[in-house]
Amino acid sequence: MSLRSIDEVLHQRGHWIDGRLSPSSGQDIAVENPASEQVIGQVADGDAADVDRAVRAAHDALPAWRESTLDERLALLTRLCDVLDEDCPQLAAIITAEVGAPAAIAGPAHVGFTTGILRAFVELARDFSFTATAGSATVFYEPIGVAGCITPWNLPLILIAQKLGAALVTACTTVFKPSELTPFSALRLAECMAEAGYPPGVFNVVTGYGPSTGEALVRHPLVRKVSFTGSTRAGRRVGALAADGVKRVSLELGGKSANLVLPDGDLAQAVATGSQQACFNAGQSCIAWSRLLVPAERLAEATDLAADALGGMRVGDPADPGTDVGPLVSAQAAERVRGYIASGIEQGARVAVGGPERPADLPRGHFVRPTVLTDVRPDMTVAQEEIFGPVLCVIPYRDEDEAVVIANGTPYGLHGAVWSRDEQHALAVARRLETGMVNVNGYGFDPLAPFGGYKQSGVGREMGVDGLHEFLEAKAVQCYSTR
């Protein structure tokens, strides 16, 4: 492969436009390694002119890309997955450096899920019918055009893949704006796409901040589809701007998911699985089961199990293969999470393990102690707001109806779990949850299924057939006899 060295990637100071690096006239943004607090590289802070060049490249690439056959597009996407597999060690090293994700998950999860998602789009599109009949009409599902895609820092490649896979198989072209905290994985992906043979302009990357670069992308008149993943706060703004331009928009936003253990559920398994799930990526996951709901009479038992699980996690250098929990992405993120732990204590929660203090043996880096807060009431701030760190709130309930009310009692509705030895009963409870995804008696992620949230967790779906429709327009054609 002719990909550049990691050092070159970290010091390129340019955007990826029309199949190559394109210098920016803007200022540089210094990117930090959250474990060492050292600057690892610089990227450009894109301005409106940079965004315009990228969108025009995507727009110019559209006609030829739309003419490609589905088979050609699927072959290219399969080739891209092979290139990504080959580049996995480099991509994983970049993700460990920019996100602070432990090496144990950077390759298998961050990069592995990325290719898993892209391969799922190959499978989905192969079976998808781009033409349908509706009454007397033939419906043609056609690419919507240029998609402007904005992604956060927590799972930088995976969240690009959820949009990119759909865009590529539906023959849309794209401009991505990755998070200013984690831009390098996206720029590396751009090189991998060129290596795989994608035509210039199909995938473009403009780096920069949200309110400047991101908003310029959302506002650009040639962008027909806006696909945003990030906080509910920024999503609200992006949604409003997209509405102003009457653009199709999908929003993948925050979560406050409940891991609901019914009285007959396997508590030990639920807490073991839920603790890992809640602390994956240092708890910086939109689908984290950050609330553990247990029968009141089993609160003490559940608290002990959770304290053992989180207390046993190894916090430290993400490059060390034995590390379970790395740093949070930034000083600001760590302060925010510590503030939430302190607010929980102030409002009457009890710390079963962890706490707001920085780990004593880690003087540098944005580390937070995996923390179990118990005796948490549903109205506490820690039970209502997304903490986005390794913090698990244990909340007791009296009966099943109250458990469902608590589970549904936040502004969010992204993910969740139900545990019961009676699977049919668990499914019935799952149907009562106002949330886009529910796991029953375990945890898994199926990229063929739709992904997205109810309420303030978002609008629209990614992945699955629903995810394809987000990038398609439906054209109904009716033919009448000329005789």
Catalytically active residues, by annotation = 252, 286
Among 254, 327, 390, 467, binds ligand NAD (CB under 6 A): 254
Min separation Cβ 464 and ligand NAD, Å: 13
Q: Does 389 bind ligand NAD (CB under 6 A)?
A: no
Which residue number, 46 or 102, has a Cβ lying nearer to ligand NAD? 46
**Nearer of residues 242 and 299 to ligand NAD, judged by Cβ:** 242
- For residue 280, the 8-state DSSP code is G
Among 53, 177, 220, 469, binds ligand NAD (CB under 6 A): 177
CB of 345 to ligand NAD, least distance (A): 23
Contact status: 157 vs ligand NAD (CB under 6 A): no
Among 386, 387, 389, 461, binds ligand NAD (CB under 6 A): 386
Single residue of 209, 443, 445, 454 touching ligand NAD by CB under 6 A = 209
Using the rule CB under 6 A, which residue among 26, 214, 344, 413 binds ligand NAD?
Answer: 214
User: Which residues are CB-neighbours of 359 under 8 A, at least 6 positions away?
Assistant: 315, 367, 368, 369
- Binding span for ligand NAD by CB under 6 A among 17-25, 197-205, 224-232, 295-303: 224-232
**Closer CB to ligand NAD, residue 146 or residue 352?**
146
- β-bridge mates for residue 134, sequence order: 137
152 lines the binding site for ligand NAD (CB under 6 A): yes
98 binds ligand NAD (CB under 6 A): no
Query: With respect to ligand NAD, which residue has the nearer C-beta, 155 or 171?
Result: 155
Q: Which long-range contacts (CB under 8 A, 24 or more apart) does 268-275 make?
A: 268/305, 269/419, 269/441, 270/417, 270/419, 271/302, 271/305, 271/306, 271/309, 272/305, 272/309, 273/417, 273/442, 273/443, 274/306, 274/392, 274/417, 274/443, 275/306, 275/309, 275/310, 275/392
Decide: is 180 part of the binding site for ligand NAD (CB under 6 A). yes
Residues paired with 39 in a beta bridge: 32
Rounded CA gap, 203 and 225, in Å?
14
- The residue among 94 and 307 lying less far from ligand NAD, judged by its C-beta, is 94
What tokens does 295 get? 């029968």
282 near ligand NAD (CB under 6 A)? no
As beta bridge partners, residue 251 has 228, 459
The three-class DSSP label of residue 112 is helix
Q: Which of residues 332-361 bind ligand NAD (CB under 6 A)?
A: none
For residue 348, the cross-strand partners are: none
Write out the two tokens for 448.
Answer: 């063929």
Please report how close the Cβ of residue 367 comes to ligand NAD at its closest, in angstroms: 18
Q: Which is nearer to ligand NAD, 89 or 211 (CB)?
A: 211
CB atoms within 10 A of CB 120: 20
Query: Which one of residues 159, 160, 186, 271 is an interface residue with ligand NAD (CB under 6 A)?
Result: 159
d(CA 359, CA 381): 24
The CA-atom distances, in angstroms, between 101 and each of 111, 285, 321, 325, 350 are 11, 12, 11, 8, 28
Query: Is 100 an interacting residue with respect to ligand NAD (CB under 6 A)?
Result: no
DSSP 8-state secondary structure symbol assigned to residue 214: I
By CB under 6 A, tell whether 229 contacts ligand NAD: yes
Strand pairing class (146-150; 173-177): parallel
Footprint of ligand NAD (CB under 6 A): 150-155, 159, 177, 179-180, 209-211, 214-215, 218, 229-231, 234, 237-238, 252-255, 286, 386, 388, 414, 453, 458
